[in-house]
Amino acid sequence: MARRTRRPRGVTVKTPEQLEAMRLAGLVVGRTLERLVTAVAPGVTTGELDRIAEESIRSAGAVPSFLGYHGFPASICTSIGAEVVHGIPSYGRELAEGELLSIDCGAILRGWHGDAAVTVPVGRCAPELLALSAVARDALRAGLAAAQPGGRLSDIGDAVHNVVRPHGYGLVEDYTGHGIGTSMHEPPCVPNVAPEGPGRGMALEVGIVLAIEPMVTLGSARVHELEDGWTVVTDDGRQAAHWEHTVAVTARGPWVLTALDGGAALLGDAPRVPAGRTGTTPALDRGASAT
């Protein structure tokens, strides 16, 4: 017998018009991150990066969603080395050659949220750190490619875990991705693992929007929060990488709302929304079969 799929309480399905609005918010985040990546260099402070981010977001007519979120004091999170997520920018913290920096950015445009993160080497980085970041990015790519209509939520965690597992890295489980829309964090949680395998959990309907964000560590996946009430660090002090995108499930496949090209470069040959539609709605017609 067919299993009835019931959407968990609080999960919202966006209309094509709403996805269009979320795309515009996603582009603000994508463009801001692009600016920040070019600004990263030894000697630059994370406070300066935060200033650039806020200016970029506000000049686009948007609002930094992190600023004031449960009291968070900045527009981006900057997490360096053993910091996994939620690091607080500071004019007292200069980036140093060889460090690995994660920048997490969120913006609200006309009520709709975008959320994405990148990991960037500061100057020349050890190959071991570049490899860690590359695997975390590959894991994100796999998770995004699994956001297919007709799939299930655990397809995403399974895809992420399958990329990370062969490398023996830690994959943080205490923090997850999330639904996103008119709030930054909506149901469901989007874990980066799938203990019961793929094909489980909520159905990935057309119009579901998720933030997928693998956090990968060189050593143990165990983490704790510092006394500042925000910064999450690895227990063993080894480095971490964090990548994130906001993605919409469409009839054509995943539409990466925070990627400037909609996900074309990241997803390659995977079924996805066609490239070249920056800022415009691709075929979002409900019920159409994937092509």
Per CB under 5 A, residues contacting Mg ion are: 104, 115, 117, 211, 244
Residues 79/231, Cβ–Cβ less than 8 Å: yes
Residue 168 CB, nearest distance to Mg ion (Å)? 26
Which runs of consecutive H residues, i.e. helices, occur in 40-146?
46-59, 127-145
Residue 211 CB, nearest distance to Mg ion (Å)? 4
Task: Give the nearer residue to Mg ion in terms of CB position, either 156 or 251.
Answer: 156
Residues 32/53, Cβ–Cβ less than 8 Å: yes
Return the sign of the alpha-carbon dihedral for residues 202, 206, 211, 213.
positive
Nearest of 234, 208, 206 to residue 219 by alpha carbon: 234
Dist. CA 95–CA 43, nearest whole Å: 5
Task: Give the nearer residue to Mg ion in terms of CB position, either 118 or 251.
Answer: 118
Residue 280 CB, nearest distance to Mg ion (Å)? 25
Task: Give the nearer residue to Mg ion in terms of CB position, either 117 or 266.
Answer: 117
Task: Give the nearer residue to Mg ion in terms of CB position, either 186 or 244.
Answer: 244
Burial class (CB in 10 A: 0-12, 13-18, 19+), 121: middle
Residues 160/139, Cβ–Cβ less than 8 Å: yes
Task: Give the nearer residue to Mg ion in terms of CB position, either 42 or 229.
Answer: 229
Question: 224 pairs with which residues across the strands?
Answer: 233
Dist. CA 102–CA 110, nearest whole Å: 27
Task: Give the nearer residue to Mg ion in terms of CB position, either 116 or 122.
Answer: 116
Dist. CA 102–CA 89, nearest whole Å: 11
Residue 63 CB, nearest distance to Mg ion (Å)? 15
Residue 244 CB, nearest distance to Mg ion (Å)? 5
Residue 11 CB, nearest distance to Mg ion (Å)? 16
